[in-house]
Amino acid sequence: MKFILTIMMILIAGSAVLPQTTPTEPQRYTYHIRGDVKDERSRRMPGISVCLVPAVRPINGRIPCTKTDDAGDYSLKVKDIPDKYRVCASTTDTPFIFEGDKDKSHRVICTDVMVFGAKDESRKVALKFRPQ
C-alpha cells in the first residue's frame, strides 16, 4: 500500500513540472482605418458612426466603432486577427438597421469585403451614402 501511495505521489509531482498545453492565442495585428463619410450629394457628414465589422466570421465580442468629427472625418485603430472585414457607416449608434425599421433617417452603408492580412496595415476608406 505504501508503495502504491509513493508511486501516486511521484506521478502527481511529476505532472506538475510537465509543460501544460494551452491553446495558442492567434496573432493580432494593428489595423488603422481612416477616411471620411459623405452623403449622396458629397457633403461631409459629422456625427456618423463608423465600425469595423467581421465580414465572414460571427461577431463574438465588441464591434470597434468611432464617430466622424465635425468635418466628417474618422480614424479607427483596431488590434485584431487577419480576416475579412467591412467598414460600415451608420446614422444610428450601431452598424445595424433592423428589418422593418420605419425611421427613414436610419441609414447604413458598408464597403465591399476587405482582406486584412498578417501585418500591421493602414488604409484610407471613404464612405458615401447612396440616394434613398
Roughly how many angstroms between the first and final C-alpha of the chain, as a whole number? Answer: 83
CATH number for the region 29-128 comes to 2.60.40.10
Nearest-angstrom CA–CA distance, 33 and 81: 15
Spans of all domains in the chain: 29-128
Whether the pLDDT of residue 115 is over 70: the answer is yes
Helix/strand/coil for 88:
strand
Cell numbers linked to 20:
501544460
CA angle 116, 117, 121 (to 5 degrees): 70
Per-residue pLDDT at 4: 45
Predicted TM-score (pTM) of the model is 0.77
Q: Name the β-bridge partners of 50.
A: 66, 89
Q: What is the pLDDT of residues 17-60, one digit of tens each?
A: 555 556 788 899 999 999 999 999 999 999 999 999 999 988 87
The alpha helices in the chain, defined as continuous H runs, are 2-17
For all residues of the chain together, what is the average pLDDT?
Answer: 85
